[in-house]
Structure 1
């Protein structure tokens, strides 16, 4: 069975931008869903064609409440965010705690940075070519200690540049968390760009989390702090409404959100009356990640 990603592509293999727009040359991962590591020598999975969404769709339909609750608010207001210089504080149960500059991180990751394409699902879906590196590689810079069980994240809080944070929509700053084995999985990446370009502000510049089997739930943007801990960390949506948002928040068509169903999805770009398609368990990555939850009741641990 074909895999949805490969770990043998580097910056030398990145597809020139014009090829991104030649959609007939872009193939998806297994069964027409998921991820294919793509580059100049694009990995050809046994798959049916799956077109990526357009730049306009990817950059103008976003959830980023620090800039407003509307889907177009981030593209309208995020341009005022200052993203350079940037640093990420890594602390907690690590051997080398400290502030890691974004350029330092990139210099360490140059040989490992890849292009990934994930199929991203919430109640809607789109296909996005992400540029980035595995989160596990970043954590290795700080040295994960044996007692660590969870990874906590925080987003930048800068009220003068983030108009949405002037309102108590959430308890700012935005917080997210993963269990350590979820964070160390090779599908869990830190994204630095899309379509071979630096990440736009509205998409979470300069560094954001992408967890494809949790997309729409675990997508923290503009990260400034990462903490390794032995305790399950608080997360913003769980703090705001624990009934609707559990800590695990997997894409699971058998567990409905109290206000909508995860059973089907609508592709962004297909129009208002686009046909809804069945949502796949773990967003189509069941073979790769189901073992992380062996023995767990995913209805209870949603």
Structure 2
């Protein structure tokens, strides 16, 4: 007879915290969540993701300056500084860009920051925090996140701003995209004791801004949803049952070759993903 305590011993270690991206990862595909958040396997970097990180860093550096100094020329300078910082970062090195691809990467970053000034005037922003890390308990779980920019509006109310470098969602997916920033509203209320008056998504690729006003109901929903996802994560870790969920996102998944939905062996992922990532970072630099 199987001992009950032994049967309840988790197959995989249960994470102690969740972030908005991890919640999205689990609900999109539990198998991908297992690879990235439970086993913490390295993923080959992607151009779009790394470009987004560089642009985020450039905007962070811009807002370190006094408001009057936040000009287009200053943002071009902070972008150069961000690119210099990332020159030796694994997320950039692993892209293996040749000279032409590196120039195209910079040109795409330039387009994003140029569009930014059509969206708002940074000299008027009353920022009170950049890349703000917050964490709050939800039962036995810790919910954590990083707010791109926290600011005060003309009435002294909190505003959460999140930069996006991908495409803006269509109307049917807009609320799903706002789910992540509702997490930040929850964290502000839990940590600062104040609910933001507004949460904003700034899509630099198109110049669109999506805004919403968080409510007591939306904050309660985050608590309820996170608790439900957490129970599902605990159950999956305990049983080892992380099922793949095929969708269009599979085309961009760095773990696809080990996914059983595509004939892969997930038990080989740990050794092979790590080896492939290390080989990528030590490969000769691209030229041309």
Q: TM-score, normalised by structure 1?
A: 0.22
- Higher RCO (C-alpha under 8 Å, 6+ residues apart): 2
Higher fraction of helix: 2
